Chain A
């Protein structure tokens, strides 16, 4: 798999970090006057899954959406600090968000396929950004669907509507659609919260495969899920990053009392 490492900003410094390394430094975020994130510093490591956990409204989704600048369209938001992707600050005004979002794919809580064919859904990003030839596009679509473990189920009906797929298949289609852009980082915002246990398990197995090539960040409400899929876990509470570390360590021997209270189910 080739990774696109075109510089985001023209004058960005060269970096020697591994592709897909995200370093968050002293990041704070405001919705208007309300501060949602307080001084977050966190490294997201390539070829690992980082789980963001915490009760509703703790800022974990806000944090996730800051990484690919999905907040840009919301008026009145602002931030301080830095989020470095391969050494470049993605928050810099000169960064091309279109380029950025190709390098950082995103999958949402509710699957949101376009009302088009399965093929056209996966081809949407490449058509927009790289304009490949027909045969190259066929190859890209197949690769993306294979990586999303969906190819065998849909290869005979690529031209049928994506809306005819089951919920779990739709969510894997959305993952395939993101993968077709060949991102370095994949952000998932509670990708399995609307799925049944079997579909959820398939997504989790998929993440296990995908992390061999990608930096994966997943927001989840489900602590068992965080325990199963992630290498590292970060616990957010009221907009602060309370604790982060290797998942087994955070779950078995949390340093902070609030972390322990949350993972043992005393609140949340």
Chain B
């Protein structure tokens, strides 16, 4: 009968809708649960040390005092250093691929750049330990300190061990480059043809068109891609842990070893035997989670703004 068929269809629809809704909701729910659990576990440490947890450099598991400042500092400095190195390169790659590359070269190069993102973190770390760190210790650091006489400046002072903030920044730069360049490329390609034609018709060269019309139109999206890269860099663990030297100390020198929040957790979770130590690690995790969430939200928002404008 027609009416039962109609009825049956609507029941099927409803079941389908409820199941997919449930699936869709489960992901954000998982995130909320995870954040909640971390916060609960972190609570004892945060309560014991208050703001000192964020500002103190004393991390002493034996005496039970925990200050995460060196790890927070290391995470931020290594990530910013990575962006400083990777951003110009990545934007250059994106401009080349979206504007200049002949079509036969575009796909292969884009694929190879994207492939950088597919290399396992631990492989980067291994390469870092056996290639990058010795190279820095024997070539780059002596060159910067002695040849360029930068050894007396705070940024490049101190002995050249090899494992260092500089090594971490460099390896992170290579790792975030594909993220920045592929999102930037997409944003550049989303710039409408009419904007390019407007610039060309006013007598712009191709470079002037890119610099004066395409990049400004895409600027907030490019910004978003950079922040997306920052989000990646902040949370990267394995490779950084392998090359940064893992020392709880804030040093102005990029040659000095440091620590990051992710490395602290990775290195110490197995030996955290007392409750306060475990809680302190959870608190580090909570801070890291909060920072990366914030950074990613900002990045998504910026990229979304450009895409919306491109459609309008």
Mostly, the B contact residues are helix
A-contact 0/1 string along B162-203, CB 8 Å cutoff:
000000000000000000000000000000101101111111
| 8 interchain residue pairs of minimum CB distance | A112-B194, A102-B203, A106-B201, A125-B202, A101-B203, A112-B198, A98-B203, A129-B203
Q: Within 8 Å CB of A174, what residues of B?
A: 198
Q: Within 8 Å CB of B192, what residues of A?
A: 112
Q: Is A216 an interface residue (CB 8 A)?
A: no
Q: Within 8 Å CB of B200, what residues of A?
A: 70, 73, 101
Interface contact B216-A114, CB-CB below 8 Å = yes
Q: Within 8 Å CB of A114, what residues of B?
A: 195, 198-199, 213, 216-217
- CB proximity to B under 8 Å, residues A98-133: 98-102, 105-106, 108, 110, 112-116, 124-125, 128-129
- CB proximity to A under 8 Å, residues B195-248: 195, 197-206, 208, 212-213, 216-217
Q: Is B309 an interface residue (CB 8 A)?
A: yes
Q: Within 8 Å CB of B202, what residues of A?
A: 101-102, 105, 124-125, 128-129, 177-178, 181
Interface contact B201-A115, CB-CB below 8 Å = no
19 other A-B residue contacts (CB within 8 Å) besides A178-B201, A181-B202: A99-B203, A101-B201, A102-B202, A105-B201, A105-B202, A108-B194, A108-B198, A112-B194, A112-B197, A114-B195, A115-B217, A115-B309, A124-B202, A124-B212, A125-B203, A128-B212, A129-B203, A174-B198, A177-B202
Size class of the contact patch on chain A: 20 to 34
Whole-angstrom distance between the alpha carbons of A3 and B301 in the complex? 47
Q: Within 8 Å CB of B199, what residues of A?
A: 114, 124
Interface contact B217-A70, CB-CB below 8 Å = no
Q: Is A68 an interface residue (CB 8 A)?
A: yes
With A112-B195, A114-B195: A68-B201 Cβ-Cβ less than 8 Å: yes
Whole-angstrom distance between the alpha carbons of A23 and B200 in the complex? 23
Q: Within 8 Å CB of A101, what residues of B?
A: 200-203
Whole-angstrom distance between the alpha carbons of A113 and B194 in the complex? 9
Size class of the contact patch on chain B: 10 to 19
- CB proximity to B under 8 Å, residues A121-148: 124-125, 128-129
- CB proximity to A under 8 Å, residues B37-63: none
* A-B pairs with beta carbons under 8 Å apart, 28 shown: A73-B206, A98-B203, A98-B205, A99-B203, A100-B203, A102-B203, A108-B201, A110-B194, A112-B192, A112-B195, A112-B197, A112-B198, A114-B198, A114-B213, A114-B216, A114-B217, A115-B216, A115-B217, A116-B216, A124-B199, A125-B202, A128-B208, A129-B202, A177-B198, A177-B202, A178-B201, A178-B202, A181-B203
B-contact 0/1 string along A173-190, CB 8 Å cutoff:
010011001000000000
Whole-angstrom distance between the alpha carbons of A99 and B200 in the complex? 11
Q: Within 8 Å CB of A113, what residues of B?
A: 198
Whole-angstrom distance between the alpha carbons of A218 and B200 in the complex? 19
Q: Which of A98, A100, A110 has its CB near the most chain B CB atoms (within 10 A)?
A: A98
Residue of B nearest to A68 (CB): B201
B205 to chain A, nearest CB (A): 6
Q: Within 8 Å CB of A70, what residues of B?
A: 197, 200-201
Residue of A nearest to B103 (CB): A75
A144 to chain B, nearest CB (A): 12
Q: Within 8 Å CB of A110, what residues of B?
A: 194
Q: Within 8 Å CB of B198, what residues of A?
A: 108, 112-114, 174, 177
Whole-angstrom distance between the alpha carbons of A108 and B208 in the complex? 20
Q: Within 8 Å CB of A128, what residues of B?
A: 202-204, 208, 212
Whole-angstrom distance between the alpha carbons of A264 and B195 in the complex? 37
A128 to chain B, nearest CB (A): 6
A-contact 0/1 string along B298-312, CB 8 Å cutoff:
000000000001000
Q: Within 8 Å CB of A116, what residues of B?
A: 216
B236 to chain A, nearest CB (A): 34
Whole-angstrom distance between the alpha carbons of A159 and B232 in the complex? 38
Q: Within 8 Å CB of B195, what residues of A?
A: 112, 114
Q: Within 8 Å CB of A108, what residues of B?
A: 194, 197-198, 201
Q: Which of A70, A99, A116, A128 has its CB near the most chain B CB atoms (within 10 A)?
A: A128
Q: Within 8 Å CB of A99, what residues of B?
A: 203
Q: Which of B194, B195, B201 has its CB near the most chain A CB atoms (within 10 A)?
A: B201
Q: Within 8 Å CB of A129, what residues of B?
A: 202-203
